[in-house]
Amino acid sequence: MTPSKRTARIIAALDVEKRIDAISLVADLRGKVSLFKVGSRLFTAEGPGMISEISDAGGSVFLDLKFHDIPATVAGSVRAACGLHVFLMTIHTAGGYDMMKAAADEAAAFADRSGLPRPKLVGVTVLTSMSEEDLAEASGYGGSVEDLVLKRAELAKKSGLDGIVASVKEAGRIREALGDGFIIVTPGIRPAGSAAGDQKRIATPRDAIEAGSDYLVIGRPIYQAESPGAAADAILAEMGESGK
Ligand code: C5P
């Protein structure tokens, strides 16, 4: 399959603080988007009950808490997230091989024990809000963002993760190096005419699909729109496929 023929789907980021706002976004997007990101903002404010509410409303949850800790702690967090029945979750690749392997083993053990599908694990590589200069300042790393993202993606695959989170700028190289079955999740998506905000490595929905992305995480361009439903429709049209 060539990258441009892949079917990509939107994950709407529910980056709001109130349960009522999250649920109203899920309702506004009914029939257009069925995957929703619960990140640290909503999870910290409203707790795990949010996840069952979204499921009850017919959505599937991408739990983006970017676990990054010692292997035993991350394994415990993954076990807890599996119990919440999310379909996708993030850990941070900067935690290294042992941490990612412990997380992947834990998700597999959950599936064996429960007979339920194994939630997919994706590794955050380098935040899309970081430029090369930001990365050098924060870590002392002097190479390119793209090289580091690829290195971390390779390690994620070796550790048993299902995929990674990266910007569209790196997606093409990752797809080429790691093959079709590896999940690529791309945030930093900005439809034509929308504001970048704090994101630095941004691209359009069409670029994301052409680069081989499987899931486009879209926050502000949808939840800050006057009509989130209309904004989602416009993005789906730009994607040229159902995307639901
Ligand atoms: O509002 P915007 O579309 O920029 O939101 C992007 C979403 O993707 C946010 O929820 C952010 O936490 C998430 N994300 C990101 N970069 C990563 C991983 C996740 O922007 N590397």
Tens of pLDDT, residues 139-198: 999 899 999 999 999 999 999 999 999 999 999 999 999 999 999 999 999 987 788 888
User: Where in the sequence is the domain holding 134, given as residue range(s)?
Assistant: 5-240
Closest of 150, 207, 215, 144 to residue 177, by C-alpha: 150
Question: Is any ligand 1 atom within 6 A of the Cβ of residue 63?
Answer: no
For position 198, which CATH number holds? 3.20.20.70
| Tokens (6 digits) for 124 | 């955050």
Provide the domain count of the chain: 1
Q: Please spell the DSSP secondary structure of 206-237, one letter per residue.
A: HHHHHTT-SEEEE-HHHHTSSSHHHHHHHHHH
Instruction: Specify the ligand 1 atom closest to the Cα of 13.
Output: 10
pTM over 0.85: yes
Is the sign of the CA dihedral 150, 156, 161, 166 positive or negative?
Answer: negative
Question: 113 CA to middle of ligand 1, Å?
Answer: 32
Tens of pLDDT, residues 194-244: 888 888 888 999 999 999 999 999 999 999 999 999 999 999 998 876 455
The residue from 32, 37, 66, 200 that is catalytic is 66
Question: Is any ligand 1 atom within 6 A of the Cβ of residue 152?
Answer: no
